[in-house]
A and B are shown apart, each in its own frame.
Chain A
Amino acid sequence: MNNNIKVKEKTFLLLIGILPFLPISSQLSTTFTGIMIFLFVLIFTLLSLKLLETHIEKKNKEGFVIIISIFFLLLLRIFLMAIGLDIVKKIGVYYSLIGVNCFILFLYENSVNTKIKIKMILKRLSISFFILIIISFIREILGTGKLNLLFRFGECRIGGIVDFNFIISIFSSSDRITFGLPLFILPAGGFFLTGLIMAIYQYLNIKKANKN
């Protein structure tokens, strides 16, 4: 019984890192972009918190994290727009929601642990992001019939070519005819796939817990 509760808790912790990115997981390129943005904001926010921990009162920590994460999110947006990369437009409204997820994660960690350990958060997030990439890979390949690693974000003004175009067609070699299962592109497919993968994860954890 205790093992089952621990497994359910583990699954829930994993889902905190996966579910906020589910809307952008229908394409592998947008998933990678979202993960990079999230990690940038999260790492810099937590580092700032670590550096200024002694100067901030405990009751003001949450407010501080909110302000700092918004600051880094804005900074990143201004920087990307300044060098001409269109990432913010590509992701749309989910860009700001990634910032919101940063402090939701912080609030959860703060309520559960007395001290926030960056390494532990990143370790747990790495498993979540690995599963998220698998979900995104399956969704794109089964949903559209091809894997389109088109990382074209625009013409970069500081002299680089930000255009990586690599397409693998799975069901058809022709660009005109594609076979896919549109269910996986729709939100319902995302939910089903995530549920199935979480069931596999829980099965493996239960097996491991029963062995011990």
Chain B
Amino acid sequence: MNYFDILISASIINNYVLVKMIGITPFISSSKNLLSSFYMGLSVLIVLTISSLISYPLYKFFEIGLGIKYLDLLFAVLINLIVFKIFSKLIERHFPALYNTIGIYFPIILFNSVLFGAFFELINKKANILEALFYSVGSGFGYMLALILLSFLKLSIDENKLPQCFRGAPFILICTGVISMLFQLMRGVVSLILL
């Protein structure tokens, strides 16, 4: 399997939010507007890539070197926590405008299930470092794409024209369902092209 296939597979065919349904809670709570969705998606992509590249080889070392297989969750949590703390400090210091825009979402990024799901998936696939890099970039990109599409859909529909009971979370969930159906369709087409 070449690296482009891994990238497309991770972002579209096996999209974390829309196909695997992992990380839905932060997904629906963070799609306020287009710009913040983009920044949020970009932050997840960066944190996911860096933490996967650090935690996965470290886990492999402990698994192969010391034979400890059961500490995968501990690794995932600790490494993500460290990477996230460093990332948020860097953003706060060098990009204060960006930090103010998405600062409130940082706790959501920290414990986004997508970060942990990607790590466990890499363990199951027994990927090498390059495959892990492309997989995590693809997963993060897929998350960002899904967030941006949801924001677009929300912008194009005036929520005030909907019945009161559908405003808020029900409307967002139904929009997510529509985008998920679109990704299912794309999944079939892309799988055919790749094969």
Contact = CB atoms under 8 A, between A and B. Distances in A.
B73 A70 contact: yes
B70 A188 contact: no
Interface in B59-77: 70, 72-74, 76-77
B111 A74 contact: no
A111 B173 CA distance: 25
A100 B116 contact: yes
Given A8-B168, A11-B170, 7 more contacts: A8-B169, A11-B169, A96-B116, A104-B113, A187-B21, A188-B184, A200-B165
24 contacts: A4-B164, A8-B167, A12-B168, A19-B25, A23-B22, A74-B73, A77-B70, A93-B124, A97-B116, A100-B116, A107-B111, A187-B20, A188-B180, A190-B21, A190-B177, A195-B173, A195-B176, A196-B170, A198-B170, A198-B173, A199-B166, A202-B168, A203-B164, A203-B165
A74 B73 CA distance: 9
Contacts of A34: none
Interface residues of A, number: 42
A191 B176 contact: yes
B177 A188 contact: yes
5 nearest A-B pairs in the assembled complex, by CB-CB distance: A195-B173, A191-B177, A203-B165, A199-B170, A23-B21
A15 interface: yes
Contacts, number: 119
Contacts of B163: 199
Majority secondary structure, B binding face: helix
B107 A107 contact: yes
Contacts of B129: none
A180 interface: no
Interface of B: 18-22, 24-25, 28-29, 70, 72-74, 76-77, 107, 111, 113, 116-117, 120-121, 124, 163-174, 176-178, 180-181, 184
A116 interface: no
A46 interface: no
A143 interface: no
Contact of A20 (B25, B124, B172, B184): B25
